[in-house]
């Protein structure tokens, strides 16, 4: 028997790799001689960097880069096991969690540090970039990334624009003659699970700005700035970044990546499943076990367990999911390829205790699941 374990992290308690280890430990108490393959994954959001590095035996490289308010921060990017694919997570250099609530100001926060990480990744001689767009503190349309990669965004006096989305209202000239030429020979994909345009009532500023500290007046100012950015881009460079589906992701970073460096915006789970080659990794498996911290109706919208299940079902492999908790609407996952869902908490507990006991509870649940499967085999 061969069992493939493909979980996401249990947020705030266990990494995806730790989840996989706990499940394996529990199962081995019942099936010690089974062949186990562990593939820790994520859905393209925060945690994708670590999970892909773990899953491919890659490495993390730490650099000092520019944080969202211009301050130096320590941030990591990953080089996967193939040595040719780099993973960048926006949250590392430009993330909301890097700022205390009172310092969150999308008028001035920048993606410059993410651009620096991309540049450092190019220095490694990679030929593919995977960029996770989740968790950003920014609303600058990816302008900081472009500046870090060599583009010049100038005002009417020929001066470089300062950091932040608000400054784009003064944009007069876009000079991409020194944009890093290595980008032309690198395949770039960005994890994007939204289809919001850059501007307007469903755009980056209106939908995501308030999450990053923007009040009503700031939202309008940022939306006007991004509209101006899109207008100047179209006039001077001839392409329309405003209407690209997903352009509004990560404060408009989707627009810069798709428009200026020709990155493909794809659902995060699809990018991750391709990166770990899940289709081939599960061939011949008797069972696939997946899971995440909470499984409910939203899981069916493209979270990790669903991405895993869809691939497994193309090979008629049964899929069981383990969850820290099971919520409303969980029945939706049964139509997406998951055969059964089991919570790992065995009684009513406070959330801090659930986090603390996550590994123990997961191991116990996996052991009990294995025992039930053993009974069905006899």
pLDDT of residue 164: 97
Provide the β-strand partners of residue 45: none
CA-based nearest residue to 48, from 271, 256, 261, 253:
271
Is the CB of residue 139 less than 8 Å from the CB of residue 96?
A: no
Q: Copy the structure tokens of residue 312.
A: 């497994």
Percentage of the chain beyond pLDDT 70 is 99
Length of the chain: 378
pLDDT band (50, 70, 90) for residue 193: confident
Residue-wise DSSP of 34-68:
SEEEE-----SSTTHHHHHHHHHT-EEEEEEEE-T
Helix, strand, coil % (nearest 5) of the chain?
45, 20, 35
At residue 160, what are phi and psi to the nearest 5 degrees?
Answer: -65, 135
Provide the pLDDT for residue 243. 87
| Range scoring the smallest mean pLDDT among 114-118, 191-195, 298-302 | 298-302
C-alpha angle 236-189-152 in degrees, rounded to nearest 5: 30
Say if residue 346 is exposed, middle or buried (CB neighbours under 10 Å; 0-12, 13-18, 19+): exposed
Per DSSP, helices labelled H in the chain are 16-28, 48-56, 90-94, 112-122, 143-148, 204-208, 216-237, 249-260, 268-275, 278-281, 304-313, 351-356, 358-377
Confidence class for position 378, pLDDT limits 50, 70, 90: low
Tell me: the pLDDT tens digits for 38-61?
999 988 887 899 989 998 999 999
For residue 169, pLDDT beyond 80: yes
270-326 pLDDT, tens digit each? 999 999 999 999 999 999 999 999 999 988 888 899 999 999 999 999 999 999 889
Q: Look up tokens 């939203």; give the residue.
A: 298
Average pLDDT, stretch 22-32?
97
Q: Are 304 and 19 in contact (CB under 8 A)?
A: no
* Domains of the chain, each with CATH number or no CATH: 2-41+277-377 (3.40.50.10350), 48-269 (3.90.1510.10)
pTM strictly above 0.85: yes
| Mean pLDDT rounded to a whole number for the chain | 94
């Amino acid at each position: 028997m061969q069992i493939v374990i493909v979980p996401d992290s249990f947020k705030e308690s266990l990494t995806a790799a730790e989840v996989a280890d706990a499940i394996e430990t529990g199962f081995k108490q019942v099936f010690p001689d089974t062949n186990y393959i562990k593939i820790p994954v994520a859905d393209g959001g925060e945690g994708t960097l670590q999970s892909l590095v773990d899953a491919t035996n890659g490495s993390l490289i730490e650099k000092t880069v520019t944080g969202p308010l211009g301050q130096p921060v320590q941030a990591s990017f990953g080089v996967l096991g193939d040595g040719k694919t780099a993973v960048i997570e926006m949250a590392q250099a430009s993330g909301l969690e890097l700022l205390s609530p009172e310092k969150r100001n999308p008028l001035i926060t920048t993606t410059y540090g993410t651009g620096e990480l991309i540049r450092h990744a190019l220095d490694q001689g990679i030929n593919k970039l995977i960029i996770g767009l989740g968790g950003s503190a920014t609303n600058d349309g990816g302008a900081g990334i472009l500046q870090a990669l060599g583009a010049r965004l100038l005002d009417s006096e020929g001066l470089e624009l300062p950091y932040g989305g608000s400054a784009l209202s003064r944009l007069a000239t876009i000079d991409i003659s020194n944009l890093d030429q290595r980008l032309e020979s690198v395949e770039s994909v960005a994890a994007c699970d939204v289809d919001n345009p850059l501007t307007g009532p469903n755009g980056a500023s209106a939908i995501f700005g308030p999450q990053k500290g923007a009040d009503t007046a700031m939202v309008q100012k940022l939306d006007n700035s991004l509209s101006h950015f899109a207008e100047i881009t179209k006039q001077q460079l001839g392409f329309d970044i405003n209407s690209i589906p997903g352009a509004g992701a990560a404060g408009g970073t989707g627009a810069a990546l798709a428009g200026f460096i020709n990155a493909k915006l794809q659902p995060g789970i699809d990018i991750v499943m391709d990166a770990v080659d899940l289709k081939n990794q599960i061939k011949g498996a008797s069972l696939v076990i997946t899971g995440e911290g909470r499984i409910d109706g939203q899981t069916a919208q493209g979270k990790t367990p669903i991405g895993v299940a869809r691939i497994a079902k193309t090979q008629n492999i049964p899929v069981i999911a383990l969850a820290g908790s099971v919520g409303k609407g969980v029945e939706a996952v049964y139509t997406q390829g998951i055969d059964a869902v089991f919570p790992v908490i065995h009684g009513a507990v406070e959330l801090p205790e659930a986090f603390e006991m996550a590994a123990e509870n997961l191991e116990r649940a996996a052991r009990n699941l294995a025992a039930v499967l053993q009974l069905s085999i006899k």
